[in-house]
Amino acid sequence: MGKLKGEDSMTEQAYRYDKDIWTASQARSHCLDHDGSFEAAEPQTDNEQTETYQCHKIQANYYTVRSEMHEGKKHLVVPVVMMVEGVHNGSHGPLLHTISELGKFPEAWNGIPVCIGHPQENGTSISANSPDIIESQTVGRVYNTHVEGTKLKAEAWLDEEKLKKLSPQAYEYIKQGRPLDVSVGVFTEDDFVEGDWNGERYTAVAKNHRPDHLALLPGGVGACSWADGCGVRANMERTKPVKGGIKSMAEEKKMCPKIALLINSEHSPFEEKDRELLESFDQETIDKIVAPVAILEAQDKRKEEEMKEEKKEPQVNAEQAIQVLKETLKTPEEFIKILPEEMQDQLRSGLKLHKEHRNKLIENIMTNSDVFSKEELEAKPTDELEKLSKLAKAPADYSVLGANSVKLTDEVLLPPGIGVE
């Protein structure tokens, strides 16, 4: 995205053709039809394996390069978007980088080295802040870092002579104002919590960013790519492209998922062999063809979700589970059977002793009282039976006192002169 010379509006000026969709001849023809310059891109790096063809507008002017003297040397100063809030698939997998964490200390990014590619040693990424790497791989420094919206922006101050020496390709990209991907080398503390951000899955949230370097990737693609909004580019927001020109390429790119749906859906008569035919249709025609297929696919998805819901076992809480047990288990033995075997024997022994204790209490009460029937006593709780048993004492037995013993029921002989009222 950028301004064409002599125009005030923004126009999309570059496009990558996925080799899985476009042949080289198709991409070249389409690019030339839109007044572009065609080239086959180098294999992409930084976790992006798909190769592409590229088309650039010859008049492209993506950003303004200015010259500054710094430390006695001429520097090319270019605007750069180092990171954009979102999910980026780097060396630690898909991580969510929030702008609150990225921009917590913008000044901490100032002064970090700008390298050609990420420095490595024996295939392992290393810090750029060592004398050897500074001498052999760095071409400048990052300054004027600031946060704008959801983007971490800055300026890359590049030593022109060193840039030209270490990476003629990057030098030409910048001199021509061509889009140039970047990638940050940064240490983070990752909070391993999975989630979804705007439809993109992430395995962890990156926190406490400690920047190490900024890598220029001429011909490559960074984890936060040009398409994501990062890279050496004008520090301005994209606007909708004007009609015609490269806009038609962007429209065709948007059609790819719809074409894939038409080829893969069981509700569509189209097959892989029909891809070229479908790609020849304009946006309006594709929309008309795909509409009924999309409706049927949505209905299938709803049915699948409904079936999944039906198969789900009902979720119950503790109170509901207890209520179910109460309604299902009517006797102590039924309850005992659901327990582990080692507990079943213990409870059965306890129940046996409990039953014998109740029977003795009932027998004692009935022997010494005729107030309650056996059925009434069996219905009473044990603590009440224990109280009743204490009240129902056996009558006193004085037979052991002998024939001359005094019974409370006999008449008592009193001394003369003393009467009983």
Is residue 377 included in any domain, yes or no? yes
C-alpha 52/C-alpha 220 separation (Å) is: 11
Please check whether residues 255 and 224 belong to one and the same domain: no
Is residue 100 included in any domain, yes or no? yes
Please check whether residues 224 and 250 belong to one and the same domain: no
Please check whether residues 111 and 166 belong to one and the same domain: yes
Q: Considering its fold, how many domains does the chain have in total? A: 3
Q: What is 201-232 written as a DSSP string?
A: EESEEEEEEEEEEEEEETT---SS-TTTT-EE
Please check whether residues 181 and 228 belong to one and the same domain: yes
Is residue 42 included in any domain, yes or no? no
What pTM, to 2 d.p., does this model score? Answer: 0.44
Contact 168, 162 (CB under 8 A): no
Distant-in-sequence, close-in-space partners of 343: CB < 8 Å, separation ≥ 6: 336
Which amino acid appears at position 20 of this protein?
Answer: D
Is residue 32 included in any domain, yes or no? no
C-alpha 77/C-alpha 159 separation (Å) is: 9
Please check whether residues 158 and 216 belong to one and the same domain: yes
> What are the angstrom distances between the C-alpha of 94 and each of 44, 90, 127, 223?
18, 6, 21, 9
> Which runs of consecutive H residues, i.e. helices, occur in 72-227?
99-102, 131-136, 160-166, 168-175
Contact 183, 84 (CB under 8 A): no
**Helix count and strand count (H, E) for the chain:** 13, 19
Helix (H) or strand (E) holding 396: none
Please check whether residues 96 and 134 belong to one and the same domain: yes
- Structural domain span for residue 380: 332-391
Contacts 24+ apart (CB under 8 A), 28-34: 28/53, 30/55, 30/249, 30/252, 31/55, 34/245, 34/246, 34/248, 34/249
Please check whether residues 348 and 298 belong to one and the same domain: no
Please check whether residues 222 and 73 belong to one and the same domain: yes
Is residue 288 included in any domain, yes or no? yes
Please check whether residues 130 and 218 belong to one and the same domain: yes
Is residue 212 included in any domain, yes or no? yes
Is residue 120 included in any domain, yes or no? yes
- The separation between CA 383 and the C-alpha centre of its own chain, rounded to angstroms, equals 58
Is residue 268 included in any domain, yes or no? yes
C-alpha 353/C-alpha 348 separation (Å) is: 9
Per-position pLDDT tens, the chain of length 421: 444 434 454 444 555 555 655 556 556 555 554 445 555 555 444 444 444 545 443 333 457 889 999 999 999 999 999 999 999 877 677 899 999 999 999 999 999 999 999 998 887 889 999 999 999 999 999 999 999 999 999 999 999 999 999 999 999 988 888 778 888 988 888 888 999 998 889 999 999 999 999 999 887 776 665 566 666 655 433 333 333 333 333 344 444 688 888 888 888 888 888 887 887 777 778 888 888 888 888 888 888 888 877 766 666 677 777 777 777 877 888 878 888 887 888 888 888 898 899 999 888 888 888 888 889 888 989 998 888 888 876 666 555 555 555 455 555 555 666 555 5
- The separation between CA 199 and the C-alpha centre of its own chain, rounded to angstroms, equals 10
Please check whether residues 153 and 196 belong to one and the same domain: yes
Please check whether residues 215 and 84 belong to one and the same domain: yes
Domain finish residue from 307, 340, 356:
307
C-alpha 76/C-alpha 163 separation (Å) is: 9
Please check whether residues 364 and 296 belong to one and the same domain: no
